[in-house]
Amino acid sequence: MRKLALLLLLAWTCLGCFVLPLPTRPLTLDGTRSATLDTGFLQEGRTTREEVAARWGPPTVWLQAQRIAVYGAVYSDVEIEFGSINGNGGSIPLHKREAVFLAFDGSERLARWDACRVQSGATWLGAALKWAHTAGLRVREPDLAFQPQAPPAGARVYFYCLKHPGVLGEPLPDVAMDGLRLGQIRRRTYLAVELPAGPHTFTLNPLSIRPNRASLRILDLPLTLGPGAVAYMEFHVACGINEPFSIVCVERPAEEALPVLRSLREAW
């Protein structure tokens, strides 16, 4: 969003129009601001992930491989006003992001937490990795190339994104399992999800925000997987003129999916 605003500002300035950043009343666009969260109960080495979820609800994203819960917020406190001598114009809010990061150990107890700003354009995973490095935590890094893994005790699903439409601003689709968001996927990357065998519902959201479902074509994907099963889901974001973003998804057999996955890197 910030890149879009800057491009518009440049275009309007070149045309001799005026642009002016103006502070506005802070407005939360998605999630909950960290200052409004009750953090007094958090105790490293004692507080469990279940206790955090009971107080704050489900996280913005649960990073399964890194064991980090992210409670993020998108907000705006500045608008760019633009106009011209003929009276045409408008305003664009500049989006900012922040998050509370909570790292948990293997026993689901809080190991470390902190709140900080999130860089524009970063995924929640990318922001969490940066925080973990700053905090001196050792967490699993995304693989630069596809790494085949042994069959799981439960089941595994690979989601991989091959293409996005030629639109201004690249979308970062969300993948959620049974209502819990697990990550965002850049173009030509994959996300591996471990899960218990049995029925599950995955939700693919074309954009990395939580708007009214009616405004987007969000895909709910039911999957039932047996022990040791692996599924490969190829998808991309579609968008036409005057059409909302939507998800196109198809399950691929291993012999088709694996050659593609070997050319991709893990989402970061």
| Same domain (yes/no): 29, 115 | yes
Q: Are residues 168 and 105 in the same domain?
A: no
Q: Has residue 26 been placed in a domain? A: yes
Does residue 3 sit within a domain? no
Residue range(s) defining the domain that contains residue 174: 155-266
Do residue 58 and residue 88 come from a single domain? yes
Q: Are residues 53 and 163 in the same domain?
A: no
Which range has the worst mean pLDDT, 61-65, 239-243, 263-267? 239-243
CA distance 187 to 236: 8
Query: What does the pLDDT read at residue 191?
Result: 95
Last residue in a domain, options 67, 102, 134: 134
The per-residue b/e assignment along 226-251, b for 16 or more CB within 10 angstroms, e otherwise, is eeebebbbbbbbbbeeeeebbbebee
Q: Is the pLDDT of residue 213 over 70?
A: no
Let me know if residue 70 belongs to a domain.
Answer: yes
Give tens-digit pLDDT for 146-177: 988 887 889 999 999 998 876 666 688 999 99
In a domain, 120, yes or no: yes
The answer to whether position 144 is within a domain reads no
pLDDT at 201 over 90: yes
163 in the same domain as 252: yes
- Using alpha carbons, list the distances in angstroms from residue 247 to 15, 184, 233: 37, 14, 12
Q: What is the pLDDT of residue 26?
A: 78
**Whole-number pLDDT of residue 188:** 93
More confident residue, 242 or 163: 163
Give Cα separations from 131 to 94, 100, 116, 150, 175 (angstroms).
23, 10, 8, 30, 22
Work out how many domains the chain is built from and give that number. Answer: 2
DSSP, collapsed to helix, strand or coil, labels residue 49 as helix
**268 pLDDT exceeds 60?**
yes
| Co-location of 201 and 105 in the same domain | no
Of residues 87 and 128, more confidently modeled: 128
pTM score: 0.78
Task: Give the separation between CA 178 and CA 111, rounded to whole angstroms.
Answer: 26
| 73 and 127 share one domain | yes
In whole angstroms, give the CA distance from residue 249 to residue 221: 9
Integer CA distances (angstroms), 148 to 89, 108, 136, 254, in order: 53, 27, 28, 12
According to the model, what pLDDT value does residue 149 have? 84
Q: Name which of 19-33, 139-153, 213-227 the model is least confident about.
A: 19-33
Whether residues 179 and 130 fall in one domain: no
Tell me if 176 sits within 8 A of 218, measured CB to CB: no
| Boundary of a domain, candidates 103, 134, 165 | 134
Res. 240 pLDDT band, cuts 50 70 90: confident
Residue 132 predicted with pLDDT over 70: yes
In this prediction, residue 161 carries a pLDDT of 93
Domain boundary among 134, 166, 200: 134
User: Which has the higher per-residue pLDDT, 38 or 85?
Assistant: 38
7 domain-assigned: no
165 and 108: one domain? no
> Residue 127: CB partners within 8 Å, gap ≥ 6?
70, 72, 97, 99, 101, 118, 119
Question: Who has greater pLDDT, 162 or 18?
Answer: 162
Any domain includes 38: yes
Same domain, 53 and 96: yes
Domain shared by 22 and 69, yes or no? yes
pLDDT higher than threshold 80 for residue 15: no
Hunting for tokens 């998808």 — which residue is that?
Answer: 235
**What is the sign, positive or negative, of the torsion defined by CA atoms of 54, 57, 58, 64?**
negative
The verdict on 99 and 198 lying in the same domain is no
Instruction: Please indicate, yes or no, if residue 4 is contained in any of the structural domains.
Output: no
Averaged over 246-253, what is the pLDDT? 93
